[in-house]
């Protein structure tokens, strides 16, 4: 009959509902900033099968794995750089737990909560302003921007003020505990995004401390305010 029948678990049904409203916004371009090996891109691709995804990852071995994971995805473009407030060369702390790698130094609070993150080495990477990159966004883009850069989120936003005008939804990581020296705070991010006409609209995901269950960081949702 040309009809495909699938068993949908309660968890899958919840995830479908979780992304339904984002799809309804009309997003067709995803900026995956802090891609690591493509975990977010893999998940979001299920809900946006035809969207263009631009993934940014500065650490070479993660970038290579990212490309390999999406070798058959012709609509995902991988960029081997970090994003920030200015164009420069910088040292990133590459951690044995690659998802914890950051341009900022870890604090003792981080090591206490995640003891497997006690080893890092510095490597030079390229940092670029998103607004200065060509052939990424167009005037007709309707963007979902995800930022997960271990405390460097405000720097990314400051280098993307023009791109933000084309963004419909932002999913951005914020830390409730000081896991990195000089990290962006909730007030930093909230004040900046409010000033650029975004409204805090909920929590996408949240992580609890393995020590005591206290919320330690989360991915927050911001939506562009309509005039």
Average pLDDT over residues 216-225: 96
DSSP H or E stretch at residue 224:
strand 215-224
**What pLDDT sits at residue 9?**
60
**What is the model's pTM?**
0.91
Percent residues over pLDDT 70 in the chain = 96
Closest CA to 36 of 7, 64, 4: 64
Q: Quick check: 40 and 33 in contact, CB under 8 A? A: no
Q: Tokens for 25?
A: 């916004």
Q: How many beta carbons lie within 10 A of that of residue 110, not counting itself? A: 25
pLDDT confidence of residue 131: 97
Which residue has better confidence, 56 or 10? 56
Question: Which position has the token pair 């989120």?
Answer: 153
What's the pLDDT tens digit per position in 1-23?
777 766 656 667 778 888 999 99
Write down the domain spans for the chain: 42-224
Closest C-alpha to 181, from 107, 109, 113, 102: 107
CA distance 123 to 172: 25
Whether 137 and 163 have beta carbons less than 8 Å apart is answered as yes
* Residue range 86-91: mean pLDDT, rounded: 96
Q: What are phi and psi of 61, to 5 degrees?
A: -70, -30
pLDDT digits (tens, 9 = 90+) for 159-175: 999 999 999 999 999 99
In the CATH hierarchy, which top-level class contains the domain 42-224?
A: alpha beta
Render pLDDT for 113-125 as a digit per residue (tens, 0 to 9). Answer: 999 888 889 999 9
């Amino acid at each position: 009959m040309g009809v495909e029948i699938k068993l949908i678990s309660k968890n899958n049904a919840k995830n479908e509902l979780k992304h339904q409203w984002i799809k309804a916004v009309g997003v067709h371009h995803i900026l995956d900033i802090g891609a690591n090996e493509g975990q977010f891109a893999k998940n979001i691709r299920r809900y946006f099968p035809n969207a263009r995804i631009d993934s940014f990852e500065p650490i070479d071995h993660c970038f290579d794995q990212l490309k390999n994971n999406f070798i058959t995805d012709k609509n995902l473009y991988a960029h081997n750089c970090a994003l920030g407030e200015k164009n420069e060369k910088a040292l990133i702390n590459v951690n044995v737990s690659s998802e914890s790698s950051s341009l900022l130094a870890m604090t003792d609070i981080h090591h206490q909560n995640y003891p497997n993150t006690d080893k890092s080495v510095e490597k030079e990477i390229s940092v670029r302003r998103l607004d200065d990159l060509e052939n990424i966004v167009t005037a007709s883009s309707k963007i979902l921007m995800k930022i997960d850069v271990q405390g460097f989120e405000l720097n990314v936003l400051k280098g993307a003020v023009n791109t933000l005008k084309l963004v419909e939804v932002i999913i951005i990581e914020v830390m409730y505990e000081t896991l990195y020296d000089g990290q962006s705070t909730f007030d930093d991010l909230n004040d900046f995004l409010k000033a650029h006409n975004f409204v805090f609209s909920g929590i996408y995901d949240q992580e609890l401390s393995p020590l005591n269950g206290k919320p330690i960081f989360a991915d927050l949702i911001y939506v562009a305010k309509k005039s």
